[in-house]
Amino acid sequence: MWFCGMVLMWPMEYSHWTNLNTILDELAQRGHEVTVLVSSASILVDPNKQSVLNFEVYLTAFTENELHLLFMKWTKMWSYELPKSIFWAFIFFYFLLKYTSSITLCEDAILTKNLTKKLQESKFDVLGDAVSPYGELMSELLNLLWSIVFDSLLAIHMKNSVEGLHYLLPM
């Protein structure tokens, strides 16, 4: 006997979404209700494409092009600048770039009161994310079990950085 539940997924772009999409499709095929939380600037996640998945789109300050350019800048740094940089200087700029986009996306979703209210009322069983620094915060707001889909040292570091966003939690 299978337990079918309601899954809320907050994916990242590119390879995280490409890999996760297959898993989420399989969950939906097995009877789970899967909802994907996606920003209006999403690059690969197309909420208008016919799918067994449900999509909840939230507005963000970024455009799709701006998010793509940030990712390309990050990729260029990782590929070309790291080999010839001082490690700590690279890490500083890497995280500055990464967190600028992550915090903006986090604030845009969490500070949209009608979105958080709708998600709370949906009674999801679990929130999953693919190494995003804001999944734990959203799980606190929605009072959900939180799962990191792709576990790594970077995920642990990003998880710890969420504590700096405590000002977004309601008092």
Q: What is the mean pLDDT of the chain?
A: 79
In this prediction, residue 53 has a pLDDT band, given cuts at 50, 70 and 90, of very high
Q: List, in order of start, the domains of the chain with CATH numbers.
A: 6-168 (3.40.50)
By percentage, how much of the chain surpasses pLDDT 90? 30
168 alpha carbon, distance to own chain's centre: 16
**Could you give the angle at which helices 64-76 and 87-110 cross, rounded to 10 degrees?**
160
How many C-beta atoms surround the C-beta of residue 24 within 10 A?
Answer: 23
- Write down the pLDDT at residue 153: 40
Task: State pLDDT tens for residues 55-107.
Answer: 999 999 889 898 888 888 877 877 777 667 777 666 777 677 666 777 788 88
Look up residue 83 and give its two tokens: 């080999």
